[in-house]
């Protein structure tokens, strides 16, 4: 059985707060709040240092190729 890494969906504190602001902005029809939340989610997905999605799916330094 080959050792292939699985992709996991996980969000750090920035991503969770971003989702909350995004939903709140959509429900209250406030574009600025929704945009702020979307920015948090995108940052969590793209920046590994925030400890969210990208960090969870990044290969660890002690894994061999």
pLDDT digit string, tens, across residues 25-51: 999 999 999 999 999 988 887 876 766
Does 4 or 51 have the greater pLDDT score?
51
What is the pLDDT confidence band of residue 59, given thresholds at 50, 70 and 90? low
Q: For 26, how many CA atoms within 13 A lie in the half-sphere containing its CB?
A: 7
According to the model, what pLDDT value does residue 62 have? 57
- Matching residue, tokens 């948090």: 40
Domain ranges of the chain: 13-57
Does 58 or 65 have the greater pLDDT score?
58
What is the Cα–Cα distance from 45 to 60, expressed in whole angstroms? 17
CB atoms near residue 44 (< 10 Å)? 25
What is the pLDDT confidence band of residue 60, given thresholds at 50, 70 and 90? low
What is the Cα–Cα distance from 16 to 1, expressed in whole angstroms? 35
**Helix (H) and strand (E) counts for the chain?**
3, 0
């Amino acid at each position: 059985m080959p050792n292939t890494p699985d992709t996991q969906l996980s969000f750090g504190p920035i991503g969770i707060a971003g989702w909350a602001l995004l939903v709140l902005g959509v429900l209250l029809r406030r574009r600025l709040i929704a945009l702020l939340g979307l920015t948090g989610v995108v940052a969590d997905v793209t920046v590994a240092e925030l400890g969210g999605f990208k960090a969870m799916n990044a290969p660890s330094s002690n894994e061999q190729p």
